[in-house]
Amino acid sequence: MSMKLAATLKHLLWQTYFHCPRPLAKFLYSLGRSAFIADGRDPYFQQAFEKASLLGIQGDYLEFGVYKGDSFITASNLAKRYKFGNMRFFAFDCFDGVPDSEDWVKKGAYACSEELFKKIILQAGVDMNRTVIVKGLYNDTLNEAAKTKHHLSKAAIVHIDCDLYLSTRKVLKFIESLCEDGTVIIFDDWYIYGRNNVFAMGEGKAFSEWHLRQYCHELFDFPGRSKGFVFSRRRNANS
């Protein structure tokens, strides 16, 4: 298949998705994800929500770096399955792609407009009344004023998918007051720079410098991709 034909088909599929009735769009999205474009993150997202449910943790879902909303939609669906009825879903992104280059991650990568992001998640069935989009660079948006404005006090699950060291460092500083015993923290790109460079670059480097890292107990490890922790000041993170 030529690149031009592939691009045309992709455009037609998106147009069909955006213009069909919402219940049908939701079904088509789910079908596409399960049958054609499976997301390898689904198993560990389920593990994260299962753990949060088991521990009875209350709070919001925070995602840093949302791109086109795949993991955001997954989180919304799992929140329904595990009956997190009061959970809100926060999307933190500048929507212009990553702000700086770092190794092979180039400035502007993963750009997706806020308008397109909203269209995608709305058609997939995300409850927009429980969705909070915080648009802007983290230097401008990750502050105490944002917590006060949005009445943000507890995080049940934090998904860090911002790739870069400096961005991750800002995120970790921001969530310090939001983490409590049982909060699940997912680093989506833990291994993005290779297994031997985990603590030398990117999300792993920022984590290695975080003064609260000793309270993070491993929940899962997906070699080549991601790492998840349960935050707990107790010795046993399961209690």
Is residue 70's pLDDT more than 70?
Answer: yes
* DSSP 3-state of 147: helix
d(CA 157, CA 79): 10
d(CA 111, CA 108): 6
Q: Give the pLDDT of residue 31.
A: 72
Output the pTM of the full model.
0.90
Number of other CB atoms surrounding residue 99 within 10 Å = 15
Q: Give the pLDDT of residue 15.
A: 79
CATH code at 41-231:
3.40.50.150
Q: Which residues contact 237 (CB under 8 A, 6 or more apart)?
A: 181, 217, 219, 230, 231
Mean pLDDT of the chain: 90
Percent of the chain with pLDDT strictly greater than 70: 90
* DSSP 3-state of 102: strand
Q: Give the pLDDT of residue 209.
A: 98
Q: Per-domain residue ranges for the chain?
A: 1-38, 41-231
pLDDT tens, residue by residue, 21-61: 888 888 777 777 665 666 778 889 999 999 999 999 999 99
Provide mean pLDDT across the span 214-220: 96
pLDDT tens, residue by residue, 117-153: 999 999 999 999 999 999 999 999 999 999 999 999 9
Say what angle helices 42-55 and 70-81 make with each other, to 10 degrees: 40
pLDDT tens, residue by residue, 153-189: 999 999 999 989 999 999 999 999 999 999 999 999 9
| pLDDT band of 230, cuts 50, 70, 90 | very high
- Measure the N-to-C terminal CA separation of the chain; round to a whole number of Å: 54
Question: Do residues 185 and 156 touch, judged by C-beta distance below 8 A?
Answer: no
